[in-house]
Structure 1
């Protein structure tokens, strides 16, 4: 385990991509750090603040021991990055959900929260839009033009979202369980970022420097435009939806498509190009809504799991599909009631997971 890049393992854990062995190791480190802290029970704001203080003190004291190996020092840094945002954004259960009763009425929607991981490996918790501005004022987030460019990364956990402005003025909205890697400042003639998850881009126009978003399956190239990209781990295709302007999307198989507004490209081994009646609605998550357009129940459940930070059982799914805009800033039980009513399904908590009930269970 220690031979691996621990930063990568922590990021995989945040994004829900870690395998069982990696999860076990990370959570064992949590246990070692937090000792007898019990955060499985509901805490008051004062109790949470006191626990955060104790964790930081623990981290600080252990970091003062210079004989620690580099791997251990790295762990302390990353553990701090995980623990505080998990308290602050309120979407994480310390033990697995199948180890406790879940009151659906108390499972709230996602909240603003992310981690900034700087090119030097420092990690900062982001819980408001002002946090980046503060870091910029301290000379941490931005660099002066002409200095050696370093790459930063912002990661949202399940149940989190964030918004940032890049050095060229491009605005980016990050959905839950998303990571974006970007330079502290763009060099002349080159604007490139790297995405995993879902993000909406409002790109500042610069005809001398195309803006390129790279994912695992494709690259989207623009000059100035508004578009949404969905590229979660496990998707068979990336989905690029163009709201305004024009983009050129290129798959890893070197197939290209020049997109016009109101269209969507599903990009994998091949590119499927379709019309979207209300393209802006695809990014309705920015405004607190789920957008479902003849969406299969498995995709509906997955989106709910990401936003409410819950495990989802995708076995034995019905053929039902969902249409419409659904408020995603409500307690989980209200959302499930609405979906059950409109989709003629029953969604239950089974073994700590959201599950579509079988006929026998209804």
Structure 2
């Protein structure tokens, strides 16, 4: 396909999207083309373009400009990447990225006395004896097999071997880590999270305890179901992939299923007279446990596990929720000097960016300003 034909094809896809006639296959080609650029990271206010026609016009203009500036042929048979937001609502987010990729430094009027780097792969391991071991940095994490904790390069975490007792792997603010349990199950811990697990699982079942947020890829074992307990919830699986977010007790405990099947139980509360409940999740579903009751939603799983893939993805999200995530990842203290209860943002940005890059993008909406001094971040208007 010639470059001119490629540009014509992409423009046709943009037009199909604008009138709501784009097909799933066309979405794949359109996304592959646009995601080949480096400027798709931005955060903007969700209310900036309340009128969908005005938003579409702005987006289409930006797309047309990008097409004209692209001298490369479009590879329409490129390998399919995982597509963000295939549902109709996806285009609001994608459109906002298009409309705001050219934010200039003139929009940044906050005060930044210093900058802070992103979190990194750090954690500690508490041994059955109570001894704390600082784990080496590295995204490949640690592997526990045959009673020995080791790094992927073969180096031992400790010289001891363990056949019994409980271990606790924990990440601090500004940390994340991956580990492989004795049964082959892989666990990714987000910042300020932990997992308590036995040196060896029993012959009947596999049980762990989680705080914070964790992503599981459970090794299949039909004879030994896998149980994850978090606060007032327990879930059971045989072999599957899911994410548990237990950070915010007020908004509820969220369990998101990527593949397989899980059964989720609320543990009840005798004092509050809350009866136990049980539900079953299918891929693409998320359960929210709040005040002893479950709510099941169909969700974009890409957003739920964005942190594991080194991204922040915000969908019409409150400033408080966003700042809680930033506080954990950048190890900062957040102070509100004004009321931002009604401010919401939508966008996507790499978690590998320095803090100031994220804050400056949020400032482009001109309704929030940041003052960074040390690890203290103040929000004002």
TM-score in terms of structure 2 length: 0.61
Structure 2 residue corresponding to 1:300, chosen from 322, 326, 329: 322
1:249 Cα shift?
1.0
Mapping of residues 225-264 of structure 1, within 5 Å: 225-232=240-247, 234-253=249-268, 254-264=276-286
Deviations 1:280-300 (A, max 9, x none): 331111121012122211100
The corresponding residue for 2:335 is 313
The corresponding residue for 1:162 is 177
For the 8 Å contact 1:340–1:346, the answer to whether it is kept is yes
Structure 1 residue corresponding to 2:297, chosen from 266, 274, 277: 274
Q: Does 1:348 pair with 2:357?
A: no
For the 8 Å contact 2:141–2:178, the answer to whether it is kept is no
Q: SS at the partner of 2:302?
A: helix
* Aligned mates of 2:175, 2:374 — CA distance in 1: 24
* Aligned mates of 2:316, 2:190 — CA distance in 1: 21
Deviations 1:210-229 (A, max 9, x none): 11110112112111111110
The corresponding residue for 1:122 is 131
1:347 Cα shift?
2.6
* Aligned mates of 2:296, 2:160 — CA distance in 1: 38
For the 8 Å contact 1:243–1:280, the answer to whether it is kept is no
Deviations 1:171-214 (A, max 9, x none): 00000001110011111121111011111001111111111110
1:327 Cα shift?
1.3
Q: Does 1:357 pair with 2:357?
A: no
* Aligned mates of 2:118, 2:375 — CA distance in 1: 18
**Cα–Cα, structure 1 residues 339 and 126, in superposed 2: closer, same or farther, change >3 Å?**
same
1:123 Cα shift?
1.4
For the 8 Å contact 1:170–1:202, the answer to whether it is kept is yes
Deviations 1:133-164 (A, max 9, x none): 584465958857xx4x2110011000001000
* Aligned mates of 2:112, 2:257 — CA distance in 1: 39
* Aligned mates of 2:237, 2:161 — CA distance in 1: 24
For the 8 Å contact 1:321–1:343, the answer to whether it is kept is no
Deviations 1:262-283 (A, max 9, x none): 111111221111110x213311
* Aligned mates of 2:325, 2:189 — CA distance in 1: 14
The corresponding residue for 1:203 is 218
Structure 2 residue corresponding to 1:329, chosen from 352, 377, 380: 352
Deviations 1:220-269 (A, max 9, x none): 21111111101126444111111111111111221111001111111122
**Cα–Cα, structure 1 residues 243 and 126, in superposed 2: closer, same or farther, change >3 Å?**
same
Alignment RMSD (CA, Å): 2.5
Deviations 1:64-87 (A, max 9, x none): xxxxxxxxxxxxxxxxxxxxxxxx
Larger Rg: 2
Deviations 1:332-361 (A, max 9, x none): 111101122258422334796323214xxx
Structure 2 unpaired stretches of 5+ = 1-110, 269-275
TM-score in terms of structure 1 length: 0.64
The corresponding residue for 2:19 is none
Structure 1 residue corresponding to 2:168, chosen from 143, 146, 153: 153
**Cα–Cα, structure 1 residues 342 and 202, in superposed 2: closer, same or farther, change >3 Å?**
farther
* Aligned mates of 1:127, 1:180 — CA distance in 2: 17
* Aligned mates of 2:195, 2:131 — CA distance in 1: 16
Aligned length: 253
* Aligned mates of 1:241, 1:135 — CA distance in 2: 29
For the 8 Å contact 1:217–1:237, the answer to whether it is kept is no
* Aligned mates of 2:290, 2:352 — CA distance in 1: 32
